Amino acid sequence: MRAMVLNESPGRLALTERAVPDPGPRQVLVGVHACGVCRTDLHVVDGELPDIPVPIVPGHEVVGRVEATGREVEGIGVGDRVGVPWLGATCGVCRYCRVGLENLCDAPTFTGYTVDGGYADHMVADHRYCFPLPAAYTNVEAAPLLCAGLIGHRSLKAAGDGEHLGIYGFGAAAHIVAQVAAWEGREVYAFTRAGDEAAQGLALATGAHWAGASGTPPPHQLDAAIIFAPVGPLVVEALRAVRKGGVVVCGGIHMSDIPAFPYDLLWGERTVRSIANLTRDDARAFLALAPRVPVRTHTTTFPLADANEALDRLRDGTLSGAAVLVP
């Protein structure tokens, strides 16, 4: 099989021929039909996450068909279409797993980070962390739902039910969240890089009430803000924009340092919180919700061998919506 392999981090991916892996007792072998390109993949490739076990195959927004199953697999059969997300497995016994917080597991497995992911023709995955996908979506359309959608929706829930929602960084996750928020009756205020007319146009097309450059005061005080751009100073900007009692949600796995700011920005019972990973319940809930909205994903496809180009465009901010690799 072909795989785009990261041999050192930071580094570039190398197209490599590998043997097709055999599934373990609880695993399924997935023939990959599409794999979304997520900013977390970029953090892996650019060496911004700790303890990257190179060589590694990135990719955790995987859509494919089951081609073989391990002897202990139940509920999934050969030929089934499944989605494989970021959360690859959890220990099930730590203090967090025992109380339903498996996203905070002390010994997790992460697809495309600690185990090989979907930038390949085939991959293996724990069947307990694979999900059936809504029939309404093609393989390419479904791929961004598996991280941009899941993490975005968890971020939206953490933001509370306020009417006026700011979103900082309008890429794959934001364009999904904006649709859900608008469907829920909220007003979305989208903040992008200065001069990024494509992102602002996408924001308005996917439900935003207003779109403008970061640093521009929104036309209405915000009840909450979600930050998807990995830019620490945006936390301070968002705190200035939210009302008393408002919440600022950091939706990414990595962010540059947050600069010092005066206490009066936090005072007034404002809250800053992060989102860490996802749970299987998150996946089931969002994948049931998406076709009801209905969420429409805006994608640009790339051949598997062009994964570096897709990552470069994500890094440079020249992608609109989500990038998807198609083996």
Q: Judge: domain 2-145+277-326, CATH 3.90.180.10.
A: yes
Instruction: Report percent pLDDT > 90 for the chain.
Output: 99
In whole angstroms, give the CA distance from residue 116 to residue 110: 9
In whole angstroms, give the CA distance from residue 280 to residue 130: 9
Could you write out the DSSP letters of every residue in 66-128?
EEEE-TT--S--TT-EEEE-SEEE--S-STTGGGT-GGG-SS-EEBTTTB--SSBSEEEEEGG
Between the two ends of the chain, the Cα-to-Cα distance in Å is 10
Cβ neighbours for 21, distance < 8 A, ≥ 6 positions apart: 29, 116, 122, 123, 124
Asked if residue 33 lies in contact with residue 79, where contact means CB atoms within 8 angstroms, the answer is no
> How much is the pLDDT for 267?
98
Quickly state the pLDDT bin for 72 (edges 50, 70, 90): very high
DSSP 217: P
10 upstream amide cis, omega within 30 of 0: yes
What values do phi and psi take at 311, rounded to 5? -65, -40
User: 109-110 and 27-37 as β-strands: parallel, antiparallel, unpaired?
Assistant: unpaired
Q: Which residue has the tokens 């749970």?
A: 279
**pLDDT tens, 222-235?**
999 999 999 999 99
Region 306-312: mean pLDDT is 98
Q: What is the assigned CATH class of domain 149-274? A: alpha beta
Region 26-34: mean pLDDT is 98
Residue 32: CB atoms within 10 Å: 26
Cβ burial of 219 (10 Å; 0-12, 13-18, 19+) is exposed
Quickly list H helices, the chain: 39-45, 139-142, 148-158, 172-183, 197-205, 233-241, 280-289, 307-316
- The CB-side HSE value for 319 (13 A sphere, CA atoms) comes to 27
**pLDDT tens, 233-249?**
999 999 999 999 999 99
In whole angstroms, give the CA distance from residue 233 to residue 185: 29
**pLDDT tens, 86-109?**
999 999 999 999 999 999 999 999
Could you write out the DSSP letters of every residue in 270-287?
-EEEE-----HHHHHHHH
C-alpha dist (Å) from residue 265 to 163, 242, 282: 21, 9, 31
Global pTM reads 0.96
**pLDDT tens, 124-143?**
999 999 999 999 999 999 99
Residue 95: CB atoms within 10 Å: 10
> How much is the pLDDT for 41?
98
**pLDDT tens, 192-220?**
999 999 999 999 999 999 999 999 999 99
Cβ neighbours for 59, distance < 8 A, ≥ 6 positions apart: 35, 36, 37, 41, 111, 112, 117, 118, 119, 120, 123, 325
Q: Where are the domains of the chain?
A: 2-145+277-326, 149-274
Tokens matching residue 184: 């829920």
Tokens matching residue 282: 């998150």
